[in-house]
Amino acid sequence: MKYIHSVLFNLQVLLQALLIGLFLWADWNETAQAIICGMLLCSVGIPHGANDHLYRQSTTRGGLVKFTALYLGVMGGYLAIWWLAPTFALLIFFIISLHHFGQSNFENISVWYPPSLLWGTWLLALPVIIHWEEAMAIFSAMINSGSKEVVLTELWRWRIGIFLAFAYLSVLAYYEPKNFRRYALQWILITIWYWVTPLLFGFIVVFCLWHSLQSLQYQLIYFQTTQKGTLLEFIKALFPFGLLALTSFGIYVYYRGFVISEAFILLSLITLPHIFVMHRLYGVVHK
């Protein structure tokens, strides 16, 4: 069954609608938002990218060593780019993220599938358009830029948002006519959520609820198909590296505090090798 018709998709729709209602009805202060974000990141956000070793081609111990060395090598190379050319590194982060978000949503391994590209673009661009000044401050900190932030008038932000919305819905109608209503409902709910929530809180919820859960579902399918494992075995397999990732993140927060710009750079370092792993996984699942 396609993801768009799965139980998970229906559950995500219900949860997102419920969250929108609760956020509009109740006064969620920063503490409440931080608690919810922490719970989501610890339960699905961080673990969904901490078990990539399960999907390596060689399941031997030597294969694990080779996979880990290559994984860390990619992270190290990307860290060097952040150090030498941070603006270019940020551009890489945007490109790989929009591809990654779109790919899982449409179950299409093509890098150039228009609905995937525009969906990933919408997920990243809309919160930036709505919270322009705050987003520009974060990007400026990520590239360690002391220059003035990019100024874009509200009118032009509206124009860009309307253009992207029209473009996405148009290609959706062309490429996914049978699933248009369900994808459009997803688009409406996430758009409303971004509109009513603060930048960081809104994005983390979308990242965990809509991306991380999707990714975990694909990983489970791959694990059951290729390794004939059960759901319980899959959950057990998540613990070693998932716990290591959570512990490392906890140590970082304890000593450094939660610096948004640094947190996004750390996320980018993990995202780059993770995307290569997941691209291969999607190819196997949808072969």
Could you list the mean pLDDT of each consecutive 10-residue stretch along the chain, which spans 287 residues?
88 96 88 88 82 79 88 94 95 93 85 92 96 92 72 87 97 96 97 96 95 88 81 82 79 80 89 87 69
Structure tokens at 76: 């190290």
- The pLDDT of residue 286 is 61
Q: What is the pLDDT of residue 1?
A: 53
The per-residue pLDDT for 149 is 64
Give residue 51's pLDDT. Answer: 79
**Residue 101, CA distances (Å) to 14, 94, 217, 223, 279 in order:** 20, 11, 14, 21, 11
Retrieve residue 173's tokens: 């109608």
153 contacts 96 by C-beta, under 8 angstroms:
no
- Sequence-distant (6+) residues with CB within 8 A of 21 are none
Q: What is the DSSP string of 180-244?
A: HHHHHHHHHHHHHHHHHS-HHHHHHHHIIIIIIHHHHHHHHHHHHHHS---HHHHHHHHHHHHHH
